[in-house]
């Protein structure tokens, strides 16, 4: 295989093996996670001439020039400015994506690459928004999409996947069993995994690029993000890293990750100062979308949090419920998982913030996905 560092290639983060970018693999033959070698371009004048979607950053994505985006008009979500406990904060409105969560960032870019490769069928495992996002973009592209979901997945999310045309298979035995079933199906079909596939992270990195542009081509001091599998956290880190390397920003923002107290493997490892995560059994939490006990990219998350001078916060169920109530009453339709990040944001501004610090956080998912649960939680007139 030709070694062309300036060309576009997949590279293994463990053994450094290289593969052509259009190889339909999702991990290295050694089992390692793949990254993508290529040269992103950031041309501000060109960006501002393009439409208000995440495709205004297509030159920064590892897609061939001729690749047609599979698009539902996603991205470039509003960055609202407000105050929380007197502290100014900016809040990305990622609940406003077409399928109702930021996962559309990753799915749009991943499915565009899959379509360009001429792949007709993909498999994925998900108990929530990654599956709904993938189902939406596969439906749009006319790609068959098989999703393995744990049987306890919320009926509304399963219904959303099916409505987009996905072939949903429920699996007994939790997330691990669903992942194992998807892996088996991936022997014969492309594994469009939001956890493993590097194109997904190059989609979620648009979160950082939008913030950069919306803050006047600057990076904020701090970004407060959820951490389950870390697709937003690692996408954000990738975007800010690329901007720094290209001389577009002068420093990396501190990345502050938020986990639910009852499922906090990242927080545990961070406190112990170790570089690997010890898996935990997730407890029951309102923030089911971040209840990942054994994140595949745990070591990568620890590395970016450490490298940016960030930290990991944990939030209790009472804090999540409180954030859910407070933000709904301010007019924001958010799902319970999204409330966990805002509970972390509240902790951060109450305890940790510095003078004149610019802080950005995010609403990750739309509340209409979970109205009966939300009604049961908030409906008591409290
Ligand atoms: C997926 C998701 C998260 C967590 O993202 P990770 O990539 O797992 O870290 C948070 N909120 C919502 C609404 C999600 O769908
Ligand atoms: Zn390898």
> What does DSSP assign to residue 283?
P
3 Cα–ligand 1 center, Å: 36
Q: Which residue has the tokens 């501004």?
A: 349
Grade residue 381 by pLDDT with cuts at 50, 70 and 90.
low
Residue range 152-195, pLDDT digits in tens:
999 999 999 999 999 999 999 888 899 999 999 988 999 999 99
Please report the pLDDT score of residue 278 as a whole number. Answer: 97
| Overall pTM surpassing 0.75 (yes/no) | yes
In the chain, % of residues over pLDDT 70: 97
Strands 254-260 and 222-226 turn out to be parallel
pLDDT at 3 over 80: no
Q: Which atom of ligand 1 is nearest to the CA of 364?
A: 13
Taking CA atoms, 230 is separated from 128, 238, 285, 291, 310, in Å, by 15, 12, 18, 11, 14
Which of 106, 114, 170 has the alpha carbon at shortest distance from 138?
114
Pocket test for ligand 1, best of 93, 128, 129, 327 (most atoms within 8 A of CB): 129
pLDDT at 2 over 80: no
Helices 317-329 and 336-347: crossing angle in degrees, nearest 10, is 100
Task: Tell me the C-alpha distance between 62 and 64, whole Å.
Answer: 7
- CA-nearest residue for atom 5, ligand 1, is 228
34 Cα–ligand 2 center, Å: 8
18 Cα–ligand 2 center, Å: 8
Which ligand has the shortest distance to the CA of 33? 2
Task: Tell me the C-alpha distance between 68 and 331, whole Å.
Answer: 36
- CA-nearest residue for atom 15, ligand 1, is 129
Q: Which atom of ligand 1 is nearest to the CA of 295?
A: 8
Q: Which residue has the tokens 């429920």?
A: 170
Residue range 364-380, pLDDT digits in tens:
999 999 999 999 999 86
Residue range 66-109, pLDDT digits in tens:
999 999 999 999 999 988 888 999 999 999 999 999 999 999 99
Task: Tell me the C-alpha distance between 321 and 312, whole Å.
Answer: 20
- CA-nearest residue for atom 1, ligand 1, is 289
Which of 8, 206, 252 has the alpha carbon at shortest distance from 106?
206
Contact yes or no for 150/181 (Cβ under 8 A) = no
Please report the pLDDT score of residue 351 as a whole number. Answer: 86
pLDDT at 6 over 80: no
Pocket test for ligand 1, best of 98, 101, 367 (most atoms within 8 A of CB): 101
pLDDT at 4 over 50: no
Q: Which residues line ligand 1 (CB under 6 A)?
A: 101, 103, 128-129, 226-233, 289-290, 292, 335, 337-338, 364-365
Grade residue 355 by pLDDT with cuts at 50, 70 and 90.
confident
- CA-nearest residue for atom 13, ligand 1, is 365
Give me the sheet containing 167-171, strands edge to edge. 167-171, 144-150, 121-125, 190-191
Ramachandran region, residue 157 (left: φ > 0; alpha: ψ -120 to 50; beta: rest)? alpha
241 Cα–ligand 2 center, Å: 23
Task: Tell me the C-alpha distance between 186 and 161, whole Å.
Answer: 19
Please report the pLDDT score of residue 176 as a whole number. Answer: 86
Task: Tell me the C-alpha distance between 51 and 30, whole Å.
Answer: 41
């Amino acid at each position: 295989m030709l070694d062309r560092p300036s060309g576009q290639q997949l590279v293994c983060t463990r053994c450094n093996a290289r593969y052509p970018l259009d190889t339909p693999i999702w991990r290295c033959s050694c089992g390692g996670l793949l990254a993508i070698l290529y040269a992103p371009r950031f041309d501000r004048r060109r960006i501002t001439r393009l439409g208000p979607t995440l495709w205004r950053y297509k030159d920064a994505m590892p897609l061939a020039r001729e690749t047609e985006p599979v698009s539902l008009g996603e991205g470039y979500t509003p960055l609202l400015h407000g105050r929380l406990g007197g502290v100014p904060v900016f809040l990305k409105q990622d609940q406003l994506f077409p399928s109702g969560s930021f996962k559309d960032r990753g799915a749009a870019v991943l499915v565009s690459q899959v379509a360009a490769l001429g792949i007709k069928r993909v498999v994925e495992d998900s108990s929530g928004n990654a599956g709904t996002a993938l189902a939406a973009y596969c439906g749009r592209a006319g790609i068959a999409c098989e999703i393995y979901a744990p049987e306890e997945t919320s009926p509304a999310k399963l219904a959303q996947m099916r409505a987009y045309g996905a072939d949903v298979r429920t699996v007994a035995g939790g997330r691990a069993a669903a992942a194992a079933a998807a892996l088996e199906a991936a022997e014969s079909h492309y594994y469009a995994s939001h956890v493993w596939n590097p194109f997904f992270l190059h989609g979620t990195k648009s979160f950082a690029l939008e913030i950069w542009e919306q803050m006047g081509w600057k990076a904020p001091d701090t970004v407060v993000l959820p951490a389950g599998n870390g697709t937003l956290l690692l996408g954000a880190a990738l975007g800010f890293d690329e901007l720094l390397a290209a001389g577009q920003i002068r420093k990396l923002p501190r990345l502050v990750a938020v986990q639910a107290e009852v499922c906090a493997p990242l927080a545990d490892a961070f406190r112990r100062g170790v570089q690997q995560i010890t898996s935990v059994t997730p407890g029951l939490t309102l923030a089911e979308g971040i209840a990942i006990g054994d994140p595949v990219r745990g070591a990568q998350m620890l590395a970016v949090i450490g490298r940016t001078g960030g930290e990991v916060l944990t939030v209790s169920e009472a804090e999540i419920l409180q954030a859910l109530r407070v933000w709904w009453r301010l007019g924001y339709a958010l799902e319970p998982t999204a409330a966990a990040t805002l509970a972390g944001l509240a902790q951060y501004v109450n305890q940790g913030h510095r003078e004149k610090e610019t802080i950005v956080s995010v609403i990750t998912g739309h509340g209409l996905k979970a109205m009966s649960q939300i009604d049961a939680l908030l409906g008591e007139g409290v």
